[in-house]
């Protein structure tokens, strides 16, 4: 085991941050957990985190404020940290651009400033989708290649990562971890937060989104939260090996929309959407209820149904001792089985019953 360290984790109660915190405290490291609110840390399995005594110090703060909104005493504590793991961020889609700017960009700027002030090695959690809207292979060494973005979230993460790389060029030791679409546990499919693609799957399987623009060969890279947390914790603890690297935290095999369609068809109660070539899709042609559903949810993810992107993970494979999760159809089944088991997914709405989509308003979430 590496020598015990003090690690500042931002977004420590988030979907990913909680799992990173759990790993580092379990390994005997001392975690300064920056939390946006006073709530506790709940792990992916839904249980409260029970860290080893003395390994967890919660700090209420706000990444959008200079000094992360910490008072002088807490800032002194943070100054002594051996590592900063920056997990905080807004991952929901459809929020006002300013929110992404404040949390994802300014938040990163504030974290970088803190790291620069004390020369603290930084593990920055970005997203593989900084690649933007393009097909083919996205490499770990690439960042700004003039890409278009699928949404404001992706763009904000690129700006944030650019700040981190700039600091690295100025001598700050950094590692960037770029997860793809983070989903449930690799063995059980269990997931704490049904966010990102989960609401889309729910609308499809319930038959509320029947016609979706997409390409059968579009690739959705779903990566288990436990693997991403393993990799981030490993980058923090083996920082000398990880320094300067950008690591794609992705699955061994992405699922195509065809995989997605075929696997959904394995569940009698699920409706399977029909994919229509994006070039000819028109939301105006949808029935009223479905159009609303499309505008409020599906359209936010439409870009992911088009892209044929493959994430190269050469750096990660060379660096990490954790096996890359297989992904593909078996993993998708685990995610769906768990969602069924806990009642998030279930019976479909009979055709003809055009119920309005139950779309929950986006929430602020301290995850990447």
Contacts of 352 (CB under 8 A, 6+ apart): none
CA nearest neighbour of 41 among 177, 183, 192, 189? 192
Residue 286 Cβ, how far from another protein at the closest point, in Å?
10
* Angle at CA of residue 97, ends 363 and 14, nearest 5°: 35
Residue with smaller CB distance to another protein, 75 or 276:
276
Residue with smaller CB distance to another protein, 123 or 273:
273
State both tokens at 362: 């986006």
Pairing of the two strands 219-220 and 255-256:
antiparallel
Residue 44 Cβ, how far from another protein at the closest point, in Å?
20
Binding residues (CB under 8 A) for another protein: these are: 211, 216, 258, 261-262, 265-272, 274-277, 279-282, 284-285, 337, 340-341, 346-348, 350-351
DSSP letter (8 states) at residue 129: G
Residue with smaller CB distance to another protein, 282 or 314:
282
CA distances, 353 to each of 203, 210, 349 (Å): 14, 13, 7
Residue 206 Cβ, how far from another protein at the closest point, in Å?
11
Residue with smaller CB distance to another protein, 71 or 217:
217
In which order are the strands placed within the sheet that holds 246-249? 56-60, 30-35, 6-10, 83-86, 122-125, 174-179, 246-249
Residue with smaller CB distance to another protein, 97 or 217:
217
Residue 90 Cβ, how far from another protein at the closest point, in Å?
34
Reported in sequence order, the residue ranges of the chain that DSSP labels E, i.e. its strands, are: 6-10, 30-35, 56-60, 83-86, 122-125, 136-138, 174-179, 181-183, 211-213, 219-220, 222-224, 246-249, 255-256, 274-276, 309-311
Residue with smaller CB distance to another protein, 160 or 264:
264
CA nearest neighbour of 249 among 332, 142, 176? 176
Residue 185 Cβ, how far from another protein at the closest point, in Å?
17
Residue 184 Cβ, how far from another protein at the closest point, in Å?
15
Residue 194 Cβ, how far from another protein at the closest point, in Å?
17
CA nearest neighbour of 7 among 81, 68, 79? 81
Yes or no: say if 8 and 78 are a contact pair by the CB < 8 Å rule: yes
Residue with smaller CB distance to another protein, 211 or 316:
211
């Amino acid at each position: 085991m590496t020598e015990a360290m003090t690690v500042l984790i931002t977004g420590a109660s988030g979907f990913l941050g909680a799992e990173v915190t759990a790993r580092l405290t379990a390994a005997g490291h001392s975690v300064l957990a920056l939390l946006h609110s006073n709530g506790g840390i709940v792990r992916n399995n839904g249980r409260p985190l029970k860290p080893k005594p003395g390994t967890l110090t919660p700090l209420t703060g706000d990444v959008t404020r200079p000094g992360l909104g910490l008072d002088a005493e807490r800032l002194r504590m943070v100054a002594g940290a051996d590592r900063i793991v920056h997990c905080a961020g807004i991952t929901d889609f459809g929020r006002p651009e300013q929110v992404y700017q404040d949390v994802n960009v300014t938040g990163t700027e504030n974290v970088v400033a803190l790291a620069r002030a004390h020369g603290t090695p930084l593990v920055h959690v970005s997203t593989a989708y900084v690649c933007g809207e393009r097909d083919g292979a996205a490499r770990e060494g690439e960042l700004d290649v003039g890409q278009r973005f699928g949404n404001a979230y992706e763009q904000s993460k690129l700006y944030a990562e650019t700040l981190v790389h700039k600091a690295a060029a100025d001598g700050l030791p950094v590692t960037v971890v770029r997860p793809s679409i983070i989903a449930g546990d690799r063995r059980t499919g269990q997931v704490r937060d049904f966010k990102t693609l989960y609401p889309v799957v729910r609308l499809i399987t319930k038959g509320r989104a029947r016609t979706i623009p997409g390409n059968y060969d579009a690739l959705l890279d779903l990566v288990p939260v436990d693997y991403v947390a393993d990799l981030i914790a490993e980058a923090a603890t083996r920082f000398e090996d990880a320094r300067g690297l950008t690591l794609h935290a992705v699955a061994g095999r992405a699922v195509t929309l065809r995989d997605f369609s075929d696997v959904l068809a394995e569940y009698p109660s699920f409706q399977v959407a029909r994919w229509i070539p994006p070039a000819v899709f028109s939301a105006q042609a949808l029935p009223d209820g479905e159009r609303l559903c499309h505008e409020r949810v599906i359209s936010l993810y439409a870009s992911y149904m088009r892209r044929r992107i493959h994430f190269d993970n050469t750096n990660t494979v060379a660096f990490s001792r954790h096996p890359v999760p297989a992904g593909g159809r078996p993993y998708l089944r685990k995610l769906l089985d768990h969602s069924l088991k806990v009642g998030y997914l279930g019976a479909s709405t009979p055709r003809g019953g055009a119920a309005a989509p139950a779309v929950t308003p986006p929430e602020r979430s301290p995850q990447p």
